[in-house]
Every structure is written in structure tokens, then in C-alpha cells.
Amino acid sequence: MKSFSFSPISNNDATILILGTMPGTKSLELNQYYGHNQNNFWKFMFAIFKEDFSNDYETKKALLQKNKIALWDVLQFCDRVGSLDSAIKNEIANDFETFLKQHPNIKAILFNGQKAAAFFRKYVHLNNAYQLITLPSTSPANASKTYQSKLEEWQIVASLLKNN
């Protein structure tokens, strides 16, 4: 099955870019980043910013933009059956050179999981101007860590924003 990524969620004042690999089946069906209700990404973001959780997608996007966070995927296109990153084939990366020129305030790039970081390093070659941080995947397929331990690692988002 051919999969295409979504447009980024971003404002020009973003200081952090969070990257996933490629939207999964449920996200593509809903046309929403992290649309699977068992994915913890949005729960983490609301917890980090001490906001009441909302299922409303516009509210979710506004939370990121208000906190100067951009969200995108490393890959623009791939062939994949199902939602597992291990099933990705024939991938093509998004245009980060243009995106980062349009978002000059970004200082840190965070990866939602090892696979996103690996694809980024494979296809995107940046100077050392960015802090690159790999975080545990928020996917329900990542059962190697508890919700709480993953959330603790994701708290770095708040720390980075304080330093920017």
C-alpha cells in the first residue's frame, strides 16, 4: 500500500521539530497525526503542558503551535502494509532543507522512536546547528517501556522550551 505523509503542523516561530516516521493506517484513515487512540503522543503533549486532554484535533494542533512545536514525519512517501515501521519499503524523505530554512528558530529536532531517527540520519544531512534527540516511540507497538517511563523521557520537551 502506498502511503503519503501529511503536511507539517507548524508556525514560523517553532523552536522544536518533532518527527515521526510515517502515519500509520488509523492516522491515514482519520487524516490526523497520531490518530490511533492507543498512541500516547497527544496524551504526552497535554500532560507535558499541564493542559486538560482533548480529543479535538484542532485543539491538539493548537496546543503544539502555542508552544512553538512543529510536527512532521521524516518520510514523504513509502510502500507499507499495515502500520509497523519495520514494514516500510521504497521510502522517500521529506524536504527538510526547505522546511528548516522556513523555520529558522528551530534548534532541536526530536524523533518519535528509533526508526524515525534512523531514516532521518540516512536521508538528511545537516550541519551541527541542531540538537538531535531520539525519544521512545509513543506507538502502542512499543511495549518495552511503561507509559510513565516514556512520559518522563518526553518531559525533555518542556526543558528544551525553557532553554529557548
Residue positions annotated with a catalytic role: 39
Cα–Cα distance, 12 to 106 (Å, whole number): 9
Spatial strand order of the sheet with 75-79 comes to 2-4, 75-79, 89-93
Q: What is the DSSP string of 85-96?
A: GGG-EEEEE--H
- Residue length, the chain? 164
Residue with cell 532521518: 120
Closest by Cα among 79, 73, 71, 69 to 120 = 73
Cα–Cα distance, 126 to 107 (Å, whole number): 12
Q: Which cell numbers hold the place of 47?
A: 500532560
CB 24 within 8 A of CB 83: yes
